């Protein structure tokens, strides 16, 4: 092997120098971020000078219902994967408050660019949850019309959608419309060049976009410290727009902060980065094995911050929900689980000719030729009686 | 004993271990390659044994991974980087194509870029979008890169050694659906050249040329054809850039027929290059036009359709019949 060229060079590395390869220490002391919180893990209501919120009992129950049903849907999908009905599932367990809080802050004419885990946001947009399962079952690559709910297709390539959201928002601004755009992504995604470019474009063009980063502490096996040395929300400052860190397990705070960021965008004041500080309770996906890289105690500590239990405690303390509400919701959850289960099992495999559909809006002779060849080849089996 | 039976994945792991052991300048870099050992566990245990200085979990940024690997290589290191899945190489495509491939030439040969980019590729594992693609032609089209793909455990072991030792950048495509296939590996063997094709099965009636995941399908097709009295030769190309045309030519001069098989779409695929060159070289030996079997001009389909999209035994045998019918 030829490494003489460097062997000749004197390594000047002192043993004191911190290596790039080591996991860096936590962010320096004193930079501990402000975390916007309106509901403590114990379910106590607290005030924040910049983000006030006043919800009716009915609205509070609505948020609770959204979170419970989303969690039920997610659990059902996980079970269906275990039963072999889905090839893969990316669970949102633990991230319900971040998704429902931000999702309920949206107006109908706002537009959402999700990753692949935004099942709660999809729920808020009115996307039928069974539609989300097609791509995980392997029968399609999307399964819904993005324009019918202003909810774009799931994006698997990390970070890509932040640029689409920015461009869409630039279009909104050009049109003089007063809607806003929201892009979801993870803490891992914040390392992608696309995300940095989205920050640059949105700032330069003052695009009405909210970057909603769910920092669930992990990007598969890599902790957030492997992506950044400053708290993520502080990144925004360098691009010239505000960043705020919100307790991602506090649905009220997520709602208030996202609402405020969306309003800012609608007023023409440009982008905001919201970092929802939360936790991925389960595995990255059903293919992942978190025991290889993460201690059980960590999850246990976050369980005490569960977004659903927290709101339930508050509802009970406030007398905002009675036993009948919880019982009815349990029944509704079970019904949802059943509906999802049945829908998935009944989901047909796609027609094989569908492979050649919608490749070009204008049609294409090469596709036509290959489609015809494929059809003839398939037909030859039928002729042989196979 | 130097010969052991192991899976293709294990062979890669053992090979990387040996590379790290042999040369302190070898580094492993990528997303989740450390504690997790990579999503396919190809780097399993390496960080534990060689430390975080040698086996480096990177930020989630493919352009960053390849771009910094270039810098490390300029400084004398030999980075072996992992791209988690085929469909995620494109954020790094710019660095690979505009920088990695061309720098040696731009520096009049004064600098070397010994970077290996490992990419698990191809379908057949029931995955979601962007996890089943075969983009090898996009890399083979670019001068300055070597593009290779082993089809079995022994080649995986030895080709990885050779890729790490190469002073040129190597795009190392790992056939992910063969990761769990076992084969014998002789860790003391003397391997053939990295770019050399090998004859995986001899025959006299027709040549099947393939690489990576499709070699197994072609061997099965040849075995099935044997039962019908047809003698099929299978050439494992191993390298898609450069291609060992001499071996293919010798085979085609013997059999008079060639069918090229790959998972990637046929249109503008590596089969087109092989068909054109072999037609030039063997025009008077050919009894039939060179045929190609591969994917369609369609996005890789959802998992429930991939069996229709991927060339299987039937489609290969169909092409064999068509060729023999001329
Ligand atoms: C460009 C790209 N590289 C790698 C992957 C593989 N991958 C899928 S999810 C993931 C981790 C994402 O972490 P994060 O952005 O924090 O989001 P989370 O899944 O935790 O919500 C990785 C590496 C990918 N999908 N796209």
Select the residue of A140, A289, A377 nearest B302 (Cβ to Cβ). A140
Band of pLDDT at residue A385, cut at 50, 70 and 90: low
Residues of chain B positioned with their CB less than 8 A from the CB of A7? 76
Q: Of the candidates B22, B36, B318, which has its C-beta nearest A221's C-beta?
A: B36
Which B residues, 225 through 264, put their C-beta within 8 Å of a C-beta on chain A? none
Per the prediction, chain A carries an average pLDDT of 92
Cα gap A128→A151, rounded to integer Å: 11
Closest partner residue to B60 (CB to CB) among A20, A88, A192 is A192
Q: Give the whole-angstrom CA distance, residue B306 versus residue A40.
A: 49
Residue B147, beta-bridge partner list:
B171, B241
Which of A158, A186, A217 should be mutated for ligand 1, with most atoms under 8 A from CB? A158
Tell me which of A141 and A8 has the higher pLDDT: A141
| Ligand 1 atom nearest residue B90's Cα | 1
Closest ligand 1 atom to A219 CA? 13
Token output for A294 = 């993460």
Q: Is A301 exposed, middle or buried (0-12, 13-18, 19+ CB in 10 A)?
A: exposed
- C-beta separation of B55 from B107 below 8 A: no
Residue B84 near ligand 1, beta carbon < 6 Å: yes
Distance from CA of B250 to the nearest CA of A (A): 31
In this predicted structure, what is the pLDDT of residue A307? 98
| Beta carbons of B232 and B251 less than 8 angstroms apart | no
Q: Point out the residue among A3, A193, A377 whose CB comes nearest to the CB of B318.
A: A377
B55-57/B206-210 β-pairing = unpaired
Distance between CA atoms of A13 and A327, rounded to whole angstroms? 66
To the nearest whole angstrom, how far is the Cα of B118 from the nearest Cα of chain A? 18
Residue with tokens 């007023």: A267
Q: Tokens 């003391």: give the residue.
A: B188
**Active-site annotation holds for A358:** no
Quick one: angle between helices A251-266 and A57-82, nearest 10?
Answer: 100
* Residues of A whose CB is below 8 A from B34: 221
User: Is B2 near chain A, with CB under 8 Å?
Assistant: no
- Indicate the residue of A6, A157, A158 with minimum beta-carbon distance to B76: A6
Which of A188, A224, A232 to probe ligand 1 with, by most ligand atoms within 8 A of CB? A188
Which residues are paired to A151 by β-bridges?
A112
Q: A1, B53: Cβ pair inside 8 Å?
A: no
Nearest CA to ligand 1 atom 18: A186
Contact B210, B259 (CB under 8 A): no
pLDDT-based confidence at A143, cuts 50/70/90? confident
Residue A344 makes CB contacts below 8 A (sequence gap 6+) with A80, A85, A86, A130, A133, A137
With 0-12 CB in 10 A as exposed, 13-18 as middle and 19+ as buried, what is B313? middle
- Ligand 1 pocket, residue A125 CB under 6 Å: no
Residue by residue, what is the 3-state secondary structure of B61-107?
CHHHHHHHHHHHHHCCCEEEEECCCHHHCHHHHHHHHHHHCCHHHHC
Cα of A192 from ligand 1 centre, angstroms:
10
3-state SS of chain A is CCCHHHHHCCCCCCCCCCCCCCCCCCCCCCCCCCCECCECCCCCECCCCCCCCCCCHHHHHHHHHHHHHHHHHHHHHHHHHHCCCCCCCCCCCCCHHHHHHHHCCCCCCCEEECCCCCHHHHHHHCCCHHHHHHHHHCCCCCCCCHHHHCECCCCCCCCHHHHHHHHHHHHHHHHCCCCCEEEEEECCHHHCHHHHHHHHHHHHCCCCEEEEEEECCEECCEEHHHCCCCCHHHHHHHHCCCEEEEECCCHHHHHHHHHHHHHHHHCCCCCEEEEEECCCCCCCCCCCCHHHCCCHHHHHHHHCCCHHHHHHHHHHHHCCCCHHHHHHHHHHHHHHHHHHHHHHHHCCCCCHHHHHCCCCCCCCHHHHHHHHHHHHHHHHHHHCCC
* Interval A318-369: pLDDT, tens: 999 999 999 999 999 999 999 999 999 999 999 999 999 999 999 999 999 9
Extended strands (E) in chain B: 3-7, 26-30, 55-57, 78-82, 116-121, 146-148, 170-175, 182-186, 198-201, 206-210, 232-236, 239-241, 258-265, 291-295
| ipTM (interface pTM) | 0.95
Residue B1's pLDDT is 57
Q: Does B302 touch chain A (CB under 8 A)?
A: yes
Name chain B contacts of A220, Cβ cutoff 8 Å.
31-32, 36, 39
Chain B closest CA to A217's CA: distance in Å? 13
Q: Residues of A with CB below 8 A from B127's CB?
A: 87-88
**A173 φ/ψ angles, rounded to the nearest 5 degrees:** -65, -45
* Ligand 1 nearest atom to the CA of residue A160, by list position: 1
Kindly report the number of other CB atoms within 10 A of residue B295's CB atom: 25
From the CB of residue A9, how many other CB atoms can be counted at a distance below 10 Å?
Answer: 10
A71 is catalytic: no
**Cβ within 8 Å of A, B 172-231:** none
Out of A125, A164, A245, A284, the active site residue is A284
pLDDT digit string, tens, across residues B254-313: 999 999 999 999 999 999 999 999 999 999 999 999 999 999 999 999 999 999 999 999
Residue B58 beta carbon below 6 angstroms from any ligand 1 atom:
no
Distance (Å) from the alpha carbon of A63 to chain B's nearest alpha carbon: 31
- Ligand 1 pocket, residue A279 CB under 6 Å: no
Nearest atom of ligand 1 to the alpha carbon of A190: 15
Q: Is the pLDDT of residue A21 over 50?
A: no
Element containing residue B137 per DSSP (H, E): helix B136-140
Query: In 3D, which of A363, A377, A311 has the Cα closest to residue A65?
Result: A311
Report CA-CA distances (Å) from B104 to B81, B166, B168.
19, 13, 8
- Taking CA–CA distances from B165, the nearest residue in chain A reads A1
Between B79 and A5, the higher pLDDT residue:
B79
| Interface contact A354-B297, CB threshold 8 A | no
Element (H, E) at B12: helix B8-22
Q: Which of A136, A219, A293 sits opposite B60 (nearest CB)?
A: A219
B136, B139, B145, B146 alpha-carbon torsion, rounded to 10°: 10
- Is the pLDDT at A85 greater than 50, yes or no? yes
Distance, CA of B265 to CA of B268 (rounded, Å): 8
For residue B175, how far is its CA from the centre of ligand 1 (angstroms)? Answer: 21
- Start-to-end CA distance of chain A, whole Å, equals 56
B47: its two tokens: 């960080």
The single residue of A280, A310, A314, A358 carrying the catalytic annotation is A280
* Atom 21 in ligand 1: residue holding the nearest Cα: A186
The tokens of A133 are what? 């399962």
pLDDT for the residue A161: 98
The SS3 call for residue B325 is coil
Kindly tell me the burial class for residue B114, based on how many C-beta atoms sit within 10 Å of its own C-beta (0-12, 13-18, 19 or more).
buried
Question: Separation of A158 CA from ligand 1 center, angstroms?
Answer: 5
> Which residue do the tokens 């936590």 mark?
A26
Residue A19 Cα to ligand 1 middle (Å): 25
Report the DSSP pairing between strands A272-277 and A243-247. parallel
A31 confidence band (pLDDT: 50, 70, 90): very low
Whether ligand 1 lies within 6 angstroms of the CB of A315 is answered as: no
Return per-residue pLDDT of chain B as tens, 326 residues.
Answer: 589 999 999 999 999 999 999 999 999 999 999 999 999 999 999 999 999 999 999 999 999 999 999 999 999 999 999 999 999 999 999 999 999 999 999 999 999 999 999 999 999 999 999 999 999 999 999 999 999 999 999 999 999 999 999 999 999 999 999 999 999 999 999 999 999 999 999 999 999 999 999 999 999 999 999 999 999 999 999 999 999 999 999 999 999 999 999 999 999 999 999 999 999 999 999 999 999 999 999 999 999 999 999 999 999 999 999 999 99
- Cβ of A94 less than 6 Å from ligand 1: no
Comparing alpha-carbon positions, the chain B residue that sits nearest to A357 is: B298
What residues contact A109, with CB distance under 8 A and at least 6 apart?
A150, A177, A179
Distance, in Å, from the CA atom of A190 to the CA atom of A211, rounded to the nearest integer, reads 10
């Amino acid at each position: 092997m030829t490494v003489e060229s460097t062997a000749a060079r004197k390594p000047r590395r002192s043993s004191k120098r911190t290596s790039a390869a080591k996991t860096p220490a936590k962010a320096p002391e004193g930079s501990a971020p402000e975390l916007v919180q309106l509901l403590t893990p114990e379910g106590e209501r607290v005030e924040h000078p910049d983000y006030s919120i006043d919800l009716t009992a009915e609205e509070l129950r609505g948020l609770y219902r959204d979170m419970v049903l989303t969690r039920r849907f997610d659990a059902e999908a996980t079970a269906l994967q275990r039963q072999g009905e889905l090839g893969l599932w990316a669970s949102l367990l633990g991230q319900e408050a971040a998704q429902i809080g931000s999702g309920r802050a949206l107006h109908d004419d706002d537009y959402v660019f999700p990753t692949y885990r935004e099942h709660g946001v999809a729920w808020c947009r009115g996307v039928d949850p069974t539609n989300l399962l097609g791509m995980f079952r392997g029968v399609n690559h999307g399964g819904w019309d993005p324009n019918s709910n202003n909810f774009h297709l799931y994006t698997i390539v990390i970070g890509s959608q932040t640029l689409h959201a920015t461009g869409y928002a630039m279009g909104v601004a050009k049109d003089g419309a007063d809607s806003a755009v929201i892009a979801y992504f993870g803490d891992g995604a914040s390392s992608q060049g696309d995300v940095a470019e989205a920050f640059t474009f949105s700032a330069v063009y003052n695009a009405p976009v909210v970057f909603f980063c769910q920092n669930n502490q992990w990007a598969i096996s890599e902790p957030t410290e492997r992506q950044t040395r400053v708290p993520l929300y502080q990144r925004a400052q360098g691009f010239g727009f505000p960043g705020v860190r919100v307790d991602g397990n506090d649905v009220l705070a997520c709602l208030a902060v996202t609402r405020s960021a969306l309003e800012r965008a609608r007023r023409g004041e440009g982008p905001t980065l919201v970092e929802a500080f939360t936790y991925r309770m389960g595995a990255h996906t059903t293919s992942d094995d978190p025991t290889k890289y993460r201690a059980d105690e960590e999850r246990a500590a976050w369980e005490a911050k569960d977004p659903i239990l927290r709101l339930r405690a508050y509802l009970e303390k406030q007398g905002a929900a009675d036993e009948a509400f919880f019982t009815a919701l349990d029944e509704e959850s079970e019904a949802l689980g059943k509906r999802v289960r049945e829908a998935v099992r009944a989901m047909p495999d796609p027609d094989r000719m569908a492979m050649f559909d919608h490749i070009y809006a204008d049609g294409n002779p090469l596709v036509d030729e290959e489609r015809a060849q494929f059809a003839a080849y398939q037909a030859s089996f039928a002729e042989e009686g196979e | 004993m130097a010969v052991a039976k192991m899976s293709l994945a294990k062979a890669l792991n053992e090979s990387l271990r040996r590379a790290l052991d042999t040369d302190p300048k070898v580094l492993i870099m990528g997303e989740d390659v450390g504690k997790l050992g990579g999503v396919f566990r190809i780097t399993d245990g390496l960080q534990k044994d060689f430390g975080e200085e040698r086996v480096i979990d990177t930020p989630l940024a493919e352009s960053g991974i390849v771009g910094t690997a270039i810098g490390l290589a300029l400084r004398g290191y030999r980075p072996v980087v992992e791209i988690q899945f085929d469909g995620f190489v494109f954020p790094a495509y710019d660095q690979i194509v505009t920088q990695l491939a061309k720098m040696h030439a731009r520096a009049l040969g004064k600098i070397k870029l010994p970077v290996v980019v490992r990419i698990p590729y191809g379908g057949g594992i029931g995955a979601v979008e962007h996890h089943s693609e075969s983009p090898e032609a996009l890399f083979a089209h670019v001068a300055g890169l070597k593009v290779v793909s082993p089809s079995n455990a022994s080649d995986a072991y030895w080709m990885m050694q050779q890729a790490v030792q190469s002073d040129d950048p190597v795009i190392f495509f790992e056939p992910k659906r063969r990761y769990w296939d076992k084969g014998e590996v002789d860790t003391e063997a003397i391997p053939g050249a990295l770019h050399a094709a090998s004859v995986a099965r001899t025959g006299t009636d027709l040549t099947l040329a393939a690489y990576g995941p499709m070699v197994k399908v072609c061997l099965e097709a040849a075995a099935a054809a044997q039962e019908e009295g047809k003698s099929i030769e299978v050439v494992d190309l191993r390298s898609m850039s450069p291609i060992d045309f001499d071996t293919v030519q010798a085979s085609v001069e013997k059999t008079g027929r060639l069918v090229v098989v790959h998972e990637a779409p046929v249109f503008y695929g590596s089969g087109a290059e092989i068909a054109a060159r072999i037609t030039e070289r063997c025009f008077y030996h050919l009894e039939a036009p060179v045929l190609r079997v591969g994917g369609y001009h369609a996005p890789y389909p959802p998992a429930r359709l991939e069996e229709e999209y991927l060339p299987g035994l039937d489609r290969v045998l169909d092409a064999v019949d068509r060729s023999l019918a001329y």
